Amino acid sequence: MAAPTPTLLLQLMLLLLIGAASVRAADMPMPVNEEVLGLVVFKSALSDPSGKLATWTESDPTPCNWPCVECDPATSRVLRLALDGLALSGPMPRGLDRLTALQDLSLARNNLSGPLPPGLSLLKSLRSIDLSHNAFSGPLPDDVALLGSLKYLDITGNAFSGPLPASFPPSLRFLMLSDNQFSGPLPQGLGKSSLLLHLNMSGNQLSGSPDFEGTLWSLSRLRTLDMSRNQFAGPVADGIARLHNLKTVSLSGNRFFGAVPKDMGLCPHLTSVDLSANAFDGHLPDSIAQLGSLVHLSASGNRLSGDVPSWLGKLSAVQHLDLSDNAFTGSLPDSLGDLKALSYLSLSNNQLSGSVPDAMSGCSKLAELHLSGNKLTSSIPDALFDVGLETLDMSSNALSGVVPSGSTRMAETLQWLDLSGNQLTGGIPAEMALFFKLRYLNLSHNDLRTQLPPELGMLHNLTVLDLRSTGLYGEMPSDMCESGSLSVLQLDGNSLAGPIPDSIGNCSSLYLLSLGHNGLTGPIPAAVSELKKLEILRLEYNHLSGEIPQQLGGLQNLLAVNISHNRLVGRLPSSGVFQSLDASALEGNIGICSPLVAEPCRMNVPKPLVLDPNQYPHGGDGGDNNNLETGGGGGAEGGPRKRRFLSVSAMVAICAAVAIIVGVVVITLLNVSARQRAEASAVTKKKKEEMMESAVTETTPPSSSTGKSSGGKLTAGKMVTFGPGSSLRSEDFVGGADALLSKATEIGRGVFGTVYRASVGQGRVVAIKKLATANIVASRDDFDREVRILGKAKHPNLLPLKGYYWTPQLQLLITDYAPHGSLEARLHPRQRARLRRPDHGRLPGGGGASRAQAGHGVHLADPVQPPVHGGGGPDTAGHQGARGRQNGSLLTPSSPSFLHRPQVLRALMLANVAVPCSCVLLDPLSLSLSREKLAAPVLYSSVTVG
């Protein structure tokens, strides 16, 4: 065998080396792709509930086969990363900076939070970034301006804050910054992004006065400008016409003021203009009439004034026109009927007047019409109901007439009808039941004066029915909730009567039931407890009675209840909102058992009074237990028996009954005791009178006018004298009764009695007045009290009273005799005889003035130097007295109201004390004398000869 050649050995050694190298190469790992590493790092810090990124592993040589990753087929470099809507959460991690070829990054609609990581500015190839609708916060990095290829940036709906970057990439076409928390002014560097097509910075807190002319109006390619819902202020400069391609502009929800830019109508492609919720004033610029492509125009919530422009009819393409909440005046222009494409029109809350033009029926596509809060009058045109309206709101005007019955077309389309706050009459048309799509009906605060039509229960889609203060009467229909769709039922402030129907329980969708301020009677139906969605229940100011259904406590959604000012009694439900009601929601009832109300607790159903609480077993269903109790539920089964006590109302009733019985007994005993004391007092008084009678029992002559007893004898009486130094005694009347009361001793006569002259012991002469009005005071005690007060009277023209004599048939007054004649005789000696006539002239006078009346004389206080006072004569006095009678200010002596007053007796006796000799009889008219103090009387009198 031949030996191997050196060449062969060399080849064998080379093969062995190659094999060993191959084995070592197979055992070593391949190098990791940078993009794979970056994406794995990015994924590792995120929460992925959907598991969409579960296949992202570092073992893969390339990410091009991973979900949500798109690569360049030629280079296998990642170009697009679409992770939107995967519910990813957590802070945004690092790692994306390794994707140097990335062009599109979309992380929209996730829950990513925290600030943006550094390094995004290294992705020079990025053309689109969509981070919208996440929870990113912090400032937007200034180095975003370094993304030279960036054309689309959308960070809408995050929590970015702080000022905007000083500038943005010049290549930017779409800049969406809305609904964040950016603040501060609008950066002037924004004007360098001259290629911008869409700029939306709405819903932030940007402020200051933007540089419209130098920054915004320089963005000549701009098609959409949205600055709404910020805090911008100041005027809006003219120059918007430079934005030749502008289609949409929204400045709403700021504080712009001044005039609307006059050249706004020179943007020929404008389709939407929103200037609402600012402070623009003046008129709408006429140039807007040139916007033939305008579809949406809103200038509501400003201070625009003047008439509604008639050129609005030229906006042939407009579909949405809102000029509400301004100060427009005048009437609605007929040209509005030319807006054939109009579907929404609102002129609410202006100062428009007049009627709604019939030309409005020309708006054949009109679906919503809002004219509320104006001063529109007249009736609602029937032609308006021929339009296929879905919403009609003409509330808070001065419309009159009847509610239109509507057309067949409107019945097929109408869903919302609000005519509240007008002056409509005539009831609710029955055709309203044909509006089968109607969801909202509000006719409140009109003067319909009708019964609640049961046809309304046929509206199967009706969710809100508001008929407050419309003059409804009668009872609530039982089929009001036949459809079960009602959510709100408001019938407050009417005259509804009768009970709440049990069928109210069919309103299973109700969350607001308001029936207050009516005349509803009967109990609250237990069917209300079937309204499981009920949140508000108002039944105040009715005549509801009985107890509150305990089942109402089971309404878990009930938040507010008002049952005040009814006739409800009994316990509140022990659960739910009833345990936390305010006192005002319960007041004004008969007796609700609650510590929140002051009224006493009452139970409507009579319950047996259990005096022995141990007589009945405790526990069981309380529904069959009628015992009055203070509350509390049963204990656990098999537990110890608890004592049950009387309720507060029962104890109050028992105490009241006992108090009434005791009161009746006490009053009866007091009456019996008082009657016995009165009888004893009468017996004692009679005995005292018998002991006090005097021995003066003289017989009165038949011809005299004195009172007589049976048998012609005077009843024995007593003479009482008083005053210092008085010496009169019964035995001093030496002449006896015949001499005392004889015609021979008579010296004067008047309407109140006769005056006699009498001699007493030791030659003393006195004047005695026998009163003719003996029946004024039948009691000697009363007579004695009045005369003693009279005896204290002091007056220059009155003689002092010396005493009196009293029997039931005869009363005498005793004074000194005045021998100097009468005052009348001194004043009118020639007319003495003429003045004796019974026609009593009255002479008014005060203390010290002349006083006279026919048939009486005034005795002077000083018999030696009688004072004579000047005054009017009899003619003057008579004239004044007659005038007093005509005015109704004087009482005549024969008046019953005059003779039956104790004060009149005192005045009468006062007037007649001064009569002994001169015989001036006084007519005490209009006297008012107290029992304790005698004021100086004003006496009217005339003079006669005694």
Q: Over pLDDT 70: what percentage of the chain? A: 70
Residue 602 sits in the same domain as residue 724: no
Rounded Cα distance between 797 and 721, Å, is 21
Q: Is 770 annotated as a binding residue?
A: yes
What pLDDT, on a 0 to 100 scale, did the predictor assign at position 871? 37
CA 506 to chain centre: 31
| pLDDT of amino acid 642 | 41
- Verify that 729 and 868 share a domain, yes or no: yes
- Backbone angles phi and psi of 381, in degrees to 5: -65, 135
Confidence of residue 19 (pLDDT cuts 50, 70, 90): low
Residue 381 lies in a domain: no
Is residue 234 in some structural domain?
no
Same-domain check for residues 916 and 788: yes
Distances (CA, A) of 897 to 178, 736, 776: 96, 37, 11
For residue 817, tell me if it sits in a domain: yes
Tell me: pLDDT of 670 over 80: yes
> In this structure, what are the phi and psi dihedrals at residue 754, rounded to the nearest 5 degrees?
-125, 140
Residue, of 749 and 501, whose pLDDT is higher: 501
CATH number at residue 759: 3.30.200.20
Contacts of residue 673, defined as CB under 8 A and 6 or more positions apart, other chains included, come to none
CA angle 280, 281, 284 (to 5 degrees): 90
The neighbour count for residue 383, using CB atoms within 10 Å, is 17
Average pLDDT over residues 646-666: 85
Position with higher pLDDT, 432 vs 514: 514
Strand partners, 130: 106, 154
Q: Residues near 449 by Cβ (< 8 Å), separated by ≥ 6?
A: 425, 427, 470, 471, 473
- Over range 483-496, report the average pLDDT: 93
Q: Which of 606, 634, 665 is the last residue of a domain?
A: 606
Of 612, 688, 682, the closest CA to residue 643 belongs to 612
Task: Mark whether 775 and 897 lie in a shared domain.
Answer: yes
Highest mean pLDDT among 5-19, 21-35, 618-632, 883-897: 5-19
Write out the H or E segment, with its range, that includes residue 36. Answer: helix 34-44
Looking at the predicted structure, is the pLDDT value of residue 922 above 80?
no
The structure tokens listed for 855 are: 């048939």
Please indicate, yes or no, whether residues 777 and 913 belong to a single structural domain of this protein.
yes
Q: Which of 815, 895, 889 is nearest to 857 (CA)?
A: 815
Residues 587 and 723 in one domain: no
CA distances from 667 to 660, 664, 690 (A): 10, 5, 35
Based on the structure, what is the number of domains in the chain?
Answer: 3
Residue 651 pLDDT:
82
Assess if residue 58 is contained within a domain.
Answer: no
678 within domain boundaries: no
Tokens of 629: 């109790």
The angle, 0 to 180 degrees and rounded to 10, between the axes of the packed helices 902-913 and 780-791 is 50
819 CB-near residues (< 8 Å, 6+ apart): 765, 863, 917
Residue 164 lies in a domain: yes
The pLDDT score that the predictor gives to residue 822 is 52
Per-residue model confidence as pLDDT tens digits over 248-277? 999 999 999 999 999 999 999 999 999 999
738 and 886 assigned to the same domain: yes
577 close to 569: Cβ distance less than 8 angstroms: no
Task: Print the domain residue range for 547.
Answer: 496-606
CA 226 to chain centre: 44
Residue 767 pLDDT more than 90? no
Where among 187, 208, 229 does a domain terminate? Answer: 208
Average pLDDT rounded to a whole number, residues 875-891: 40
Range with lowest mean pLDDT among 274-288, 364-378, 402-416, 894-908: 894-908
726 and 594 housed in the same domain: no
What's the average model confidence in pLDDT over 885-903? 43
Provide the CATH number for the domain around residue 510: 3.80.10.10
Tokens representing 11 are: 């080849």
Helices (H) and strands (E) in the chain, counts: 10, 49
C-beta separation of 712 from 821 below 8 A: no
Please give the DSSP secondary-structure letter assigned to residue 425.
Answer: B
Task: Give the list of residues 6+ apart from residue 320 with CB closer than 8 angstroms, or none.
Answer: 295, 296, 297, 298, 343, 344
Output the CA torsion 46→47→50→53 (10° steps).
30
Tell which of 589, 606, 623 closes a domain.
Answer: 606
502 within a domain of the structure (yes/no): yes
Q: Of the segments 10-24, 195-209, 625-639, 650-664, which one has the largest average pLDDT value? A: 195-209
pLDDT band at 135 (very low <50, low <70, confident <90, very high): very high
Is residue 539 predicted with pLDDT exceeding 50?
yes
DSSP string, 278-292: SEEEE---GGGGG-T
190-243: per-residue pLDDT in tens?
999 999 999 999 999 999 999 999 999 999 999 999 999 999 999 999 999 999
Residue 697 falls within a domain, yes or no? no
Determine the distance from the C-alpha atom of residue 723 to the mean position of all C-alpha atoms in its chain, rounded to a whole number.
74
Residue 813, pLDDT score = 83
Count the alpha carbons within 13 Å of 711 in the hemisphere toward its beta carbon: 5
Euclidean distance between CA atoms 234 and 231, whole angstroms: 10
- Distance between CA 725 and CA 728 in Å, rounded? 9
Q: For position 4, what pLDDT does the model report?
A: 52
Contacts of 532 (CB under 8 A, 6+ apart): 508, 555, 556, 557
592 with 727, same domain: the answer is no
Look at residue 311 in the predicted model and tell me its pLDDT.
Answer: 96
pLDDT exceeds cutoff 90 at 533: yes
pLDDT at site 862: 38
